[in-house]
Structure 1
Amino acid sequence: MNILFLMYPWDKIDPETDSTLRLIHECVSRGHTVAITTPNNLTMRDSVASAFCQVFSQAPTPANIVSFYKKAKFKKSRLPLAGFDTIIMRANPPLDPIALNFLDSVREEVFIMNDIDGLRIANNKLYTASFDDPNNKFIPVTHVSKTPDYLEEVLRESATDKMIMKPLDGYGGAGVILVEKHAQKSFHSLLEFYINSGKGGNYVILQEYVEGADAGDVRVLMLNGEPIGAMKRVPSDGEVRSNVHAGGTVVKHSLTKKEKALCKHIGPKLVRDGLYFVGIDLINEKLIEVNVQSPGGIMRINRLNNVKLQKKVIDFIESVINAKEALTLRKTEFRKAIKDAHAI
């Protein structure tokens, strides 16, 4: 297979923990032709969408992933996007709409994971509201606005004394804070900062505080609508965020009965939206976020459970490509049969 990773720069990778690197290593180890590029390297010439890529050499692949990263050799080349069997989207948020416009031109020819339309509708934290959950069994009560007066009213009228506030398009735990009713004056100043820091105003999320948040959250990796691995992230002392980038630690976790039911509830919609590989964050068995652009956690879940989740992900992609190729071959054979019949 010819595989393109549309991702963040190679030199920004932490080889000890990076999930994308583990997917790349698995593809190269299997003998696939693998190239990497960034959204900034997409281009168009003669109406053909291409990318300035770094293509991995055919040299023997070290089994150790850190060694693989350090010893990787590339050939630089401008390559047509339509020549790839699959494009794996691993760019960090926020979503680059121009990059998706480039991919629109090849979406009928190339398997893109995750799907372009799926990324468009799920690239921010509003996506959780699209799951059918009228009684908030799986999803906490959520409010989104860039009107300060309304958000202050929401906090005042909340049934609890505290709520979680975060930017709509943040990731990695950036900007997530705990707000409390008794700090109303400070809340007003925070809202002004969060909303007015962007041109035209930023949307802010106020979400029901889920009890147990101080004990951490659960990251679940979902593949083709099914959970394939999980871990619990525990915040550091005095920290409300559990993200590892914010100082949290990870421990082994087995999904509870209700967490499995939640995954089963949202899995079919994820697949319908073309979101085949995502990370979901749960607190006290409720869905907090869906991460669709470059979900992480592969290395840590692997280490905690002695598994290699990257194998399952690449197995899935290979099965999709093999099915597409079989369908194309079958169609070609059918057309030949009709042409041969016409020639008789």
Structure 2
Amino acid sequence: MYPWERIDPDNDSTLRIIHEAASRGITVAITTPHNLTVRNNTAHAFCNVLRKSSKISGNIPSFYRKAEFKRCKLPLAGFDAIVMRANPPLDTVALNFLDSVRNDVFIMNDIDGLRIANNKLYTASFSGDASRFVPATHVSKNREYLEHVLRDAPTEKMIMKPLNGYGGQGVIVIEKNARQNFRSLLDFYIGSGAESNYVILQEYVEGADKGDVRILMLNGEPIGAMKRVPSGDDVRSNIHAGGKEVKHVLSKEEKELCRAIGPQLVRDGLYFVGLDVISGKLIEVNVLSPGGITRINRLNRVKLQTRVVDFIENIVAAKEHVLERKNAFRKAIEDAEAV
């Protein structure tokens, strides 16, 4: 995850998951990508292991302030589960460390799933019925092509954003009548040389000025949602960009969207994700550290983190059952050979 000291204890989703696990007596260790290491060909991490307490405070900000840790270098294969909660951009080297333990540990979200879905290109992979929920999207570094896309767009405005941005960073509305400024914006967004960046031009979805809906998906099913409303004249509804959350009940169209894309999320090992939806259109899939647990909890008087930890424990228990069954069968075969 991101460093412990950067947590906002009042709103952080990862902290809610940690608190839930600790409350169940689970041993919790946290680390950051740069603390991964290899010793004698075995992947380890320098971890801060949460010291267990006889009583865990139900007040999560208080739990955060009082938390004590022991510093240890631990083998990754010894854990039952690894929960990936690092902020974008994706650290691909960190995934290489985890490749060596993927058969020993349940990793959420799956390494290959993170590789294919860690940026905004992932929505283009939805096909069949799911594709009707995805707005027309164009991604390129070619300035002439992007100018052509804007000029020929069927609507008077489009959304432009960097491919690897998050939290609403760099999201702007481009209007056709402002095309004289478009080239200079592309120069700024794309840059030059080896460090150039991809830019997204996306169909403007009507209703974007009224906000978007964040839907949290667990194992292909929606478990909670909220609406995020922009502040003032800002087009971005992201909470970190000044937006505010309001209670939201999924519409029939939003439920259909979840049913259409849920199976692919599970196939790709993307068990816990955040969907950003505007007027029934899927804008982004957030797979690295989807937030919203705390705010959805407040709005609906629920504890979504219990469902997340339940899911992890059920997966671990199923894996252990399979291993025990395999070992019992192996012993039966060895005993037969000894007769």
TM-score (norm. length: structure 2): 0.98
Partner residue, 1:156: 151
Partner residue, 2:5: 11
Partner residue, 1:20: 14
Change in Cα spacing, 1:133 to 1:141, as seen in structure 2 (3 Å) is farther
Q: Is the 8 A contact 1:242 1:248 kept in 2?
A: yes
Map of 1:209-228 to 2, 5 A cutoff?
Answer: 209-228=204-223
Map of 1:281-300 to 2, 5 A cutoff?
Answer: 281-300=276-295
Structure 2 counterpart of 1:128, from 115, 123, 138:
123
1:330 and 1:22 mapped to 2: Cα distance?
34
Larger mean Cα displacement after TM superposition, 197-206 or 270-279: 197-206
Give the RMSD, CA atoms, in angstroms. Answer: 1.1
Q: Is the 8 A contact 1:133 1:139 kept in 2?
A: no
Task: Give the aligned length.
Answer: 338
Structure 1 segments unaligned to the other structure (5+ residues): 1-6
Partner residue, 1:230: 225
- Shift in Å, 1:137: 2.4
Amino acid at match of 2:335: D
Amino acid at match of 2:191: N
TM-score (norm. length: structure 1): 0.97
- Shift in Å, 1:134: 7.7
1:54 aligned onto 2:38: no
SS class of match (1:90)? coil
Partner residue, 2:273: 278
1:241 and 1:272 mapped to 2: Cα distance?
31
2:62 and 2:130 mapped to 1: Cα distance?
50
Map of 1:13-162 to 2, 5 A cutoff?
Answer: 13-59=7-53, 60-133=55-128, 137-162=132-157
Q: Is the 8 A contact 2:227 2:245 kept in 1?
A: yes
Among all aligned residue pairs of Structure 1 and Structure 2, give the percentage whose two residues are the same amino acid: 70
Amino acid at match of 2:140: S
1:241 and 1:322 mapped to 2: Cα distance?
41
SS class of match (1:214)? helix
Structure 2 counterpart of 1:166, from 144, 157, 161:
161
Amino acid at match of 2:73: R
Runs of 4 or more above 6 Å deviation: none
1:56 and 1:142 mapped to 2: Cα distance?
44
SS class of match (2:28)? strand
Structure 2 counterpart of 1:180, from 175, 181, 184:
175
1:71 and 1:61 mapped to 2: Cα distance?
10
Structure 2 segments unaligned to the other structure (5+ residues): none
Amino acid at match of 1:298: I
Q: Is the 8 A contact 2:130 2:257 kept in 1?
A: no
